A and B are shown apart, each in its own frame.
Chain A
């Protein structure tokens, strides 16, 4: 397995456009997370899935953000009507509920720049 993969790695868009990011977790992991990281800050929790169910969503996530994990495998994060403040690195992570080791495996992130 090659780990968590994210696509695209970089996205430049104009304000008001919609963007979608995809995350493919480690195949045997049933938990999937989206985090946002801005320059000089640590990752901030956005949302969490266990299998296909979205179990928690941060108050940071406005109505313009939506995430799905339709078959409990890959996930997408869509941002509608992007704003300059959405510019950040969007990190996906996965983990297994087995063993409760607590380790999150992060992808390399999708960097969004909103002009």
Chain B
């Protein structure tokens, strides 16, 4: 059973557009929700993260919106650039030793 469900599987936007990637979870024990960015041939790298006591977090052009009651969170990329083209994974942490469950990923293509 997939612990974190992510959509869409792929996304194409024009430069300057605002892609939105959504994730949902069921386990209320999750206490930390990061987003990772992965380029081909590379390992995932942390992009931005949020804790469930906060409804929104911004870092540069990246924003996480978090809805605790709905058990959903999303990533928004403002003013997207071709260099943002990558695969994005949401994740959720259970327990205090950093055991993460990852979504299935969203492949983003930002066209010039």
Q: A42-B91, A44-B102 are in contact. Are A50 and B97 (CB under 8 A)?
A: yes
B97, A104: Cβ atoms under 8 Å?
no
* B84-112 vs A, Cβ < 8 Å mask (1 yes, 0 no): 00000101010011111111110000000
B44 within 8 A of A: yes
Q: Count A-B contacts at CB 8 Å.
A: 60
Contact B97 A41 (CB under 8 A): no
The secondary structure that dominates the B interface is: strand
Residues of chain B at interface, number, CB under 8 A: 26
- A43 partner residues in chain B, CB cutoff 8 A: 44, 89, 100, 102
B49 contact from A33, A50, A55, A103, Cβ within 8 A: A103
Interface band, chain A: 20 to 34
Q: Distance (Å) between the CB of B108 and the closest chain A CB?
A: 14
Given contacts A42-B89, A48-B97, is CB(A104)–CB(B46) below 8 Å? Answer: yes
Q: Which of A59-67, A68-76, A106-114 contacts B (4 or more CB under 8 A)?
A: A106-114
Binding site for B on A (CB under 8 A): 4, 31, 33, 40-45, 48, 50, 55-56, 91, 93, 95, 97, 100, 102-109
Which 10 pairs of residues, A with B, have the shortest CB-CB distance?
A42-B102, A106-B43, A102-B32, A42-B89, A103-B46, A43-B102, A108-B43, A106-B44, A42-B105, A107-B43
